[in-house]
């Protein structure tokens, strides 16, 4: 974009053929870290990558085997656009168990992961001028998806002490343009989980002001210390004003399979289905077979993944405590979001310093919105041994940074 007479217009030299809508989309800042890591690795430099937002496990073999059989049987053609009925039935059963809400298979769309699901839901529900309130920090793509619909993303800063949602602040953000609230619990990047009380209060407000909820529940089953992540759709009269987005990416280590789903009341899902059909026709057929296997088999594989995440989380939080980096213990997902405010540098500078000095990659908190400034996101998904050596390297680099800061503070004081 360039400015002409104070107005932002397309740069005619650079972007002659590109629509304004797409030009305004920003690439994910996480991809920026990913590219830097790839560049270092290509130079033979070993980097420990804590910026990863995927499970560091293989997809369970039962799922892979059944999918291979589906390919051999010739399941290589289109399915109905909302997905194979057997899969939608299995999703209905799973939602009933995990979220306590009863859907019909015609209230489900099988999507290309949470990404496509959230995108089509947002484009279907929001119009230019509408406002949607989103807890800040927030997942990197939310704002871009909302702005693409022409709507306004209204950030709601989470409480610093525990990253919980402040109901009074939420209430203050609601006005006549507010149409929706976006929830993401367990939360990326902080690992916080919305409490029952919080959800009850949000439900009350959404009914009082007639607001719709988009609930991103991609990490719902990954929680710790007996914490339960509830779905807002399970609260009285909330199913009819909620669309749930969920995915196989995290729970079954199927992020590369690109498969997920939306659940919403029939009249809403029918509208979303039109856009979904225009964009993708249908989800990948043999990946849908894998997803059926994932849901219908014993769920021991999920328990195993969560048990291993629990072990890695323990290691991470013990180290962070030793490093004396302030953090809120994550109750869900596989990220921790420590504060680096004491160093008086930006989260981007801090992340760059860790990459240079310790060869450890983390995501700067500002990638997740203004409220993320002063924090870094560390994923505890990598293998145990890698977490251990990455944290040792981080600890050394942070000790060095603390010393530099002490000297700097001393020098600036003596100058005065």
User: Which x/- pattern over 111-130 shows residues binding ligand PLP (rule: CB under 6 A)?
Assistant: --xxx--x------------
262 near 103, Cβ under 8 Å? no
Site string for ligand PLP, 190-219 (x = CB under 6 A): --------------------------x-x-
What string marks each residue from 59 to 98 as x (binds ligand PLP by CB under 6 A) or -? ----------------------------------------
According to DSSP H, which parts of 25-166 are helical? Answer: 29-42, 61-72, 85-99, 113-125, 142-148
Q: Which residue is nearest to ligand PLP (CB)?
A: 113
Point out which span in 226-234, 247-255, 368-376, 396-404 binds ligand PLP (CB under 6 A). 247-255
Kindly tell me which residue out of 29, 55, 260, 365 binds ligand PLP, with binding defined by CB under 6 A.
260
CB 368 within 8 A of CB 55: no
Query: Whose Cβ is closer to ligand PLP: residue 358's or residue 371's?
Result: 371
d(CA 368, CA 277): 30
Judged by CB under 6 A, the chain residues 174 through 193 that form the site for ligand PLP are 184, 188
Question: Which of 223, 272, 219 is CA-nearest to residue 243?
Answer: 272
CB of 139 or CB of 380, closer to ligand PLP:
139
Min dist CB 54 to ligand PLP, Å, is 7
Site mask, ligand PLP, residues 25-54, x = CB under 6 A? ----------------------------x-
At its nearest, how many Å lie between ligand PLP and the CB of residue 189? Answer: 8
Classify burial at 276, counting beta carbons within 10 Å of its beta carbon; exposed 0-12, middle 13-18, buried 19 or more. buried
If you compute the radius of gyration of the chain from its CA atoms, what whole number of angstroms results? 22
Q: Which of residues 132-161 bind ligand PLP (CB under 6 A)?
A: 139
Distance (Å, whole) CA 219 – CA 348:
26
Among 247, 366, 371, 379, the residue binding ligand PLP under the rule CB under 6 A is: 247
Question: Out of 231, 234, 249, 379, which residue is the one contacting ligand PLP (CB under 6 A)?
Answer: 249
Binding-site residue total for ligand PLP (CB under 6 A)?
Answer: 14
- Neighbour count for residue 7 (Cβ, 10 Å): 8
Q: Is 372 one of the binding residues for ligand PLP (CB under 6 A)?
A: no
Is 369 an interacting residue with respect to ligand PLP (CB under 6 A)? no
**Residue 112: Cβ-neighbour burial (10 angstroms; 0-12, 13-18, 19+):** buried
Is residue 395 a contact residue for ligand PLP (CB under 6 A)? no
Nearest approach in angstroms of CB 249 to ligand PLP is 3
CB of 281 to ligand PLP, least distance (A): 18
Q: Which long-range contacts (CB under 8 A, 24 or more apart) does 139-146 make?
A: 139/184, 139/188, 139/189, 139/216, 139/368, 140/28, 140/29, 140/30, 140/367, 140/368, 141/28, 141/115, 142/118, 142/182, 143/369, 144/25, 144/26, 145/118, 145/119, 146/122
Tally of CA atoms within 13 A in the half-sphere of 208 that contains its CB: 9
Close Cβ partners of 312 (under 8 Å, ≥ 6 residues apart):
334, 380, 381, 382, 384, 387
CB of 399 to ligand PLP, least distance (A): 31
Contact 215, 99 (CB under 8 A): no
Determine the interface stretch with ligand PLP among 110-118, 271-279, 289-297, 308-316 (rule: CB under 6 A).
110-118
Interface with ligand PLP (CB under 6 A): 53, 113-115, 118, 139, 184, 188, 216, 218, 247, 249, 255, 260
């Amino acid at each position: 974009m360039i400015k002409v007479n104070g107005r932002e217009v397309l740069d005619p030299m650079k972007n002659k053929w590109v629509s304004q809508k797409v030009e305004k989309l920003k690439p994910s800042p996480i991809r920026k870290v990913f590219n830097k890591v790839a560049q270092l690795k290509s130079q033979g430099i070993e980097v420990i990558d804590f910026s990863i937002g995927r499970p560091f496990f293989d997809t369970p073999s039962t799922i892979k085997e059944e999918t291979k059989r589906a390919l051999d049987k010739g399941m290589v053609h289109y399915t109905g656009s909302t997905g194979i009925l057997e899969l939608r039935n299995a999703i209905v059963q799973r939602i009933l168990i995990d979220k306590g809400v009863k859907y019909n298979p015609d209230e489900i769309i099988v999507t290309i992961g949470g990404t496509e699901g959230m995108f089509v839901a947002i484009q279907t529900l929001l119009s230019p001028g509408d406002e949607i309130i989103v807890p800040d920090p927030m997942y990197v793509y939310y704002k871009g998806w909302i702005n693409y619909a022409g709507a306004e993303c209204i950030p709601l800063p989470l409480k610093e002490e525990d990253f919980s949602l402040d109901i009074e602040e939420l209430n203050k953000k609601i006005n006549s343009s507010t149409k929706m609230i976006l929830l993401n619990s367990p939360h990326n990047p902080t690992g916080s989980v919305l409490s029952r009380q919080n959800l009850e209060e949000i439900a009350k407000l959404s009914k009082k002001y007639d607001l719709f909820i988009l609930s991103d529940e991609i990490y719902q089953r990954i929680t710790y210390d007996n914490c339960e992540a509830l779905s807002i759709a399970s609260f009285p009269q909330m199913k009819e004003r909620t669309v749930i987005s969920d995915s196989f990416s995290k729970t079954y280590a199927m992020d590369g399979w690109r498969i997920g789903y939306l659940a919403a009341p029939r009249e809403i899902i029918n509208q979303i289905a039109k856009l979904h059909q225009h964009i993708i026709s249908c989800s990948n057929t043999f990946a849908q077979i894998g997803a059926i296997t994932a849901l219908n088999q014993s769920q021991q594989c999920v328990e195993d993944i969560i048990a291993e995440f629990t072990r890695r989380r323990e290691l991470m939080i013990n180290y962070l405590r030793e490093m004396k980096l302030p953090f809120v213990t994550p109750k869900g997902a596989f990220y921790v979001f420590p504060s680096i405010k004491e160093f008086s540098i930006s989260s981007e500078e801090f992340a760059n310093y860790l990459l240079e000095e310790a060869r450890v990659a983390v995501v700067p908190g500002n990638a997740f919105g203004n409220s993320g400034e002063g924090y870094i996101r560390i994923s505890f998904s990598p293998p145990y041994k890698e977490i251990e050596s990455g944290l040792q390297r981080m600890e050394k680099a942070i000790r060095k940074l603390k010393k530099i800061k002490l000297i700097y503070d001393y020098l600036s004081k003596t100058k005065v």
